[in-house]
Amino acid sequence: MAHEQAVQVYLDDDDLARLERCSRERGWTKSQVVRAALRALTRTPERDPLLAASGMIDGLPADASERFDDYLNQTYVAERPPPYGARRRRAKPVRR
């Protein structure tokens, strides 16, 4: 196990509220939130899975990142929803 050292950080009221809200929503300690944020901010591109995948797909439009939703909507085909009020079969009660 790595040796841990205490660090003191001064936060304004807004940042402290953000930290407390984030830790409460995730069920983490404040220290865990700070460590996760620090690791995310200092991660090298080689260790970031999203950055590692960047550029892997050839032939995408130059504006793919800017118009992602437009391109997705053009290619996405949703299944038809069931008719309104469609009845579902009820499971038969189990007799014992």
pLDDT in tens, 33-72: 999 999 888 877 677 776 667 767 778 788 888 888 887 7
pTM for the model: 0.49
Residue span of the structural domain in which 30 resides: 7-52
Q: Residue 29: inside a domain, yes or no?
A: yes
Assess if residue 88 is contained within a domain. Answer: no
Asked if residues 37 and 26 have their Cβ atoms less than 8 Å apart, the reply is no
pLDDT > 70: percent of the chain: 75
Query: Would 81 be classed as within a structural domain?
Result: no
Number of compact structural domains in the chain: 1
Report yes or no on 14 lying in a domain: yes
CATH of the domain at 40: 1.10.1220
Check residues 76 and 6 and name the one with the higher pLDDT: 6
The reply to whether 60 falls in a domain is no
In a domain, 32, yes or no: yes
Per-residue pLDDT, averaged over 60-89, amounts to: 73
Instruction: Decide if 38 is inside a domain.
Output: yes
- Residue 44 placed within a domain: yes
